[in-house]
Amino acid sequence: MSRTVYVNGAFIAEEDAQISVFDRGFLFADGVYEVCSVLKGKLLETEGHVARLHRSLNELDIPAPCSDEELLAAMEKLVADNDIDEGLVYLQVTRGAADRDFAYPKDPKPTLVMFTQAKKLLNDPVADKGITVITLPDLRWARRDIKTVGLLYPCMAKMEAKSKGAQDAWLLDDDGFVTEGTSNNAYIVTQDNKIVTRHLSNSILHGITRRSVLALAEEEGMVVEQRPFTPEEAYNAKEAFFTSASAFAMPVIKINDAVIGDGTPGEITQKLRAKYIELSLSI
Ligand code: PDD
């Protein structure tokens, strides 16, 4: 079935959508993106995603393609037109088309593209089982706080994980500490029930789900430590999990050869996942 997608103000069939070969998103990965989940036909965490979009655009001097109201209205229309009950909206803003030159064009006309993906989020069998990860060196650029479309290394890392029979990779900085997953923020729960996740800096994406899940954890009286952790600390942890817009809180049951806890999704992870879903459905 053909989807309706959005390109620069127009809602069109996906097979009719066109982008210039000179678009700088295509030539230089000169663009940023957001992924917003949809539950029961409603977009989640739009305020956080729009705020982070502006932050990414500002860091790269890309003008906003439209007002926030226009953006949100277009996202909602896309969800309705494609009849999305559960899934996500992907949105991408690039610096637009210009003759190929490393220097930014003087008067850029940003490109805004959006599309939907239907995806089972609530009853996700992967979340019931948990996933396995391997660790790999973090070879991405040093501004991981900007959500750019330059995602080739995360793709390579995911493929390496798959080739080793795992589902994802957790990436390690030069000192051997976990930065984050290829497309998610990484956490462990220590034997004394502390939730540990790397502090915010340019080394990781400032996850919108991360912010909400940490707030929920604190509301539940859980202790949160924002600091780096090593794979060795993770091997000995009670639980491990990751967060992202499309996965909520997802249990990790094995890291490299180490089984985490008893090899099933941990209690705290499951509680946070349930609370996050409950909160999302209640808004
Ligand atoms: N990824 N870290 C990285 C590198 C990410 O790409 C993402 C999101 C996150 C989690 O951020 P949030 O909670 O705001 O989704 C952390 C999206 C889902 C993706 O690329 O598909």
Domain ranges in the chain?
A: 4-118, 125-282
Distance from residue 208's CA to the centre of ligand 1 (Å): 8
The CATH superfamily label for domain 125-282 reads D-amino Acid Aminotransferase, subunit A, domain 2 (3.20.10.10)
Give the confidence band of 251 by pLDDT, cuts at 50, 70, 90.
very high
Tell which one of 124, 158, 244 to mutate to probe ligand 1, the residue whose CB is within 8 A of the most ligand atoms: 244
- In this structure, the number of other CB atoms found within 10 A of the CB of residue 135 comes to 20
Could you tell me the strand order of the sheet in which 10-13 lies?
10-13, 4-7, 111-118, 87-94, 31-39, 42-43
Of the candidates 147, 158, 238, 254, the residue annotated as catalytic is 147
4-118 and 125-282 have identical folds: no
CA-wise closest residue to 201 among 159, 138, 156, 157: 138
Distance from residue 44's CA to the centre of ligand 1 (Å): 14
Average pLDDT over residues 94-100: 98
Closest C-alpha residue for ligand 1 atom 19? 183
> pLDDT tens across 149-191, in order?
999 999 999 999 999 999 999 999 999 999 999 999 999 999 9
Write the CA distances from 221 to 160, 171, 191, integer angstroms: 38, 29, 16
Say if residue 283's pLDDT is above 90.
no
> pLDDT tens across 271-280, in order?
999 999 999 9
CA-wise closest residue to 48 among 207, 183, 204: 207
Closest C-alpha residue for ligand 1 atom 5? 183
- In this structure, the number of other CB atoms found within 10 A of the CB of residue 283 comes to 8
Say if residue 1's pLDDT is above 90.
no
In angstroms, rounded to a whole number, what is the distance separating the alpha carbons of residues 147 and 50?
A: 12
Closest C-alpha residue for ligand 1 atom 4? 183
Which residues line ligand 1 at a C-beta cut-off of 6 Å? 35, 180, 183-185, 205, 207-210, 243-246
Distance from residue 248's CA to the centre of ligand 1 (Å): 10
Among the four given CATH numbers 3.40.50.300, 3.40.640.10, 3.40.50.800, 3.30.470.10, the one describing domain 4-118: 3.30.470.10
The alpha carbon of residue 272 and the mean position of all alpha carbons in its chain are separated, in whole angstroms, by: 17
Burial class (CB in 10 A: 0-12, 13-18, 19+), 278: exposed
The count of residues in the chain is 283
Say if residue 194's pLDDT is above 90.
yes
- Give every CB contact of residue 26 below 8 A, 6+ residues apart in sequence: 19, 20, 94
Ligand 1 nearest atom to the CA of residue 205, by list position:
2
Catalytic status, residue 275: no
